[in-house]
Amino acid sequence: MTLLRSAVCLSGILFLSLFASARPSGPWDRFDVLHYDLAVHFDAARETFGGSVGVTALRRAPGNEMLLHAYQPLLTIDSVMHGALKLPFSRSGDTLTIRLASLGKRGDTVRVRVYYRGSSTFHGEYDNGGVYFSRDDLGNAHIATMGEPSFARRWWPCKDVPSDKATATVTATVPLPLTAVSNGLLTSVTDGKGERSFRWETRYPIATYLVSVAAAPYETFSQTYTALDGTTMPIQYYVYKKDLEKARRDFSDTPAILRFFAERFGEYPFLNEKFGYAEVDGDLTMENQTLVSVQGTLITGTGEHEMTFVHELSHHWWGDLVTPTTWNHTWLNEGFGTYAEALYREHESGAPAYAAYMDTLMRAPVGAFKGSVIGRSDTAFWDSFGARVYFKGAIVLHMLRAMMGDSMFFQVMRTHLQNPLTRYGNATTQDFIRECEAAYGKDLGWFFDQWIFASPASIDRPTLKLDWSAVPSGSSYDVTVTVIQKYAAELLYRLPFNVTLAGGGQDRVFPVVDSLDRQTFRWTVPLKPDRVVLDKEHRLFFDLQQ
């Protein structure tokens, strides 16, 4: 998902069971969902929907209660079946409790099918979700879903947490002449009376918030991506007829962008399926797995929104492949996605473009990113998707790269994505820290404590004051540089940076670590400096008061 920049003023089943990450214990953890078989019928005229979802789950502990999410009052549960047996159920808030016929035992596979119907109050706004029904200027129906962060439950019953990924089939039935598109591969199209059903299947685990359906009288075109090993994969586009030629221009770089991220992070992780874009209405731009939703206002034919497309595409590594265990860790999606924009700028236009991008982020007003990058709440939307998550998260990666060096930093990025314990599964910030420390060979707790885990009430960056003097000493000069952390009482930072003594046509660079509220450094140099510069390379995030 791309943050609205204007708001912040800144431009296989066994495989799933084997590699599932540790999840919070409790009643929600008694069953591990392995597969969803979702069949949903959309009535565009009435703006309603309904159908059924088959849930195949692995029993992780004995118990006769299976819990799913189903949002009240939008979803009505008609029945729950286990084969021919009708199961009792109850509802409390968003929780649907299904009572199974037996307690069973650990390792059992349980299959139920939930029949439901629903309505929508969603109008395509950024911080909401569910099913959005709309119409174009010609009266044609458009349908699109939004599931992030916890809105999947508003259009289908599921275990709506990012920590329980499963494979899925989605059969979407829509009125003619609409085409319904979804995740994975299209495996069948069936005609009915005045309507058509499209069946899509995923071969890779998917989080519920990434399951999507988009439907419209689409025009289509395609490209081909050639993987690092020569394998080819289709890139598919579904756009409105009026935007067809503009979309051809805007999306023309997609194979090259895929190739760049494959070289940087490892091969595109859904190579046996596809990548694509589906045009939608509303503020619904979203990194839905293998088929990104793009709001129509971004398709202009000028390429002006390419960085948004880069951001969403990068999520197929950062968020879709490795998904945060809980929404507190959304910076693992959005901070990394924002930083991927900077990396692509660097790839396309060189180091100055990268530096300019990061400088723009770091010039944000003091306090703009105040608060912990790790969210306090797993459910509050703006706690997981605020500016600090996107932009300060990217700044943290910029600083980490400068400290580690390119070779080590990018190896950590690849290693994190290739870890079999989290690949196609879930990760926390602690998982990423462990990868960093293993490569760096030193404790990095101090770095992440001050930049990621700092108290929500703390400052968003240090404010430094600089005093310096140069006193003759024989044929040399004794230079004294004092750095003051103005708000050290609130949060004292450890800051490794270079001090540059500029003068006489020659810069002298001294690496230091500032870790006190007032710290003095001294050097003897042959020429008197004209000025002293802290962190000339812009590797650190701070505000300097003269």
Q: What is the pLDDT of residue 25?
A: 55
Per DSSP, 158 falls in state B
* Contact of 165 with 425, CB cutoff 8 Å: yes
Domains 23-314 and 463-545 share a fold: yes
Beta bridge partners of 239: 219
Q: What is the DSSP string of 208-237?
A: GGG--EEEES-EEEEEEEEPTTS-EEEEEE
Q: Classify 201 in phi/psi space as left (phi over 0), alpha (psi -120 to 50) or beta.
A: beta
Domain assignments of the chain as residue spans, ordered by start = 23-314, 323-451, 463-545
Contact 530, 503 (CB under 8 A): yes
pLDDT at 24: 39
**What gap in Å lies between CA 144 and CA 286, rounded to an integer?**
11
Residue pLDDT tens, the chain, 546 long: 876 533 333 333 333 333 333 343 578 999 999 999 999 999 999 999 999 999 999 999 999 999 999 999 999 999 999 999 999 999 999 999 999 999 999 999 999 999 999 999 999 999 999 999 999 999 999 999 999 999 999 999 999 999 999 999 999 999 999 999 999 999 999 999 999 999 999 999 999 999 999 999 999 999 999 999 999 999 999 999 999 999 999 999 999 999 999 999 999 999 999 999 999 999 999 999 999 999 999 999 999 999 999 999 999 999 999 999 999 999 999 999 999 999 999 999 999 999 999 999 999 999 999 888 997 766 667 777 889 999 999 999 999 999 999 999 999 999 999 999 999 999 999 999 999 999 999 999 999 999 999 987 889 999 999 999 999 999 999 999 999 999 999 999 999 999 999 987 889 999 999 999 999 999 999 999 999 999 999 999 999 997
Distance CA 15, CA 205 (A): 9
**pLDDT at residue 377, rounded to an integer:** 66
CATH code that applies to domain 463-545: 2.60.40.1840
DSSP string computed for 328-346:
GGTHHHHHHHHHHHHHHHH
Q: Is 194 helix (H, G, I), strand (E, B) or coil?
A: coil
Q: What CATH number should be reported for the domain whose range is 323-451?
A: 1.10.390.10
Angstrom distances, CA of residue 209 to CA of 155, 212, 342, 350, 513: 11, 8, 26, 35, 42
CA dist., res. 183 & res. 181, Å (int) = 7
Query: Tokens 């037996």 correspond to what residue?
Result: 102
- In this predicted structure, what is the pLDDT of residue 18? 33
Tokens for 259? 């190739």
- CATH node for 23-314: 2.60.40.1730
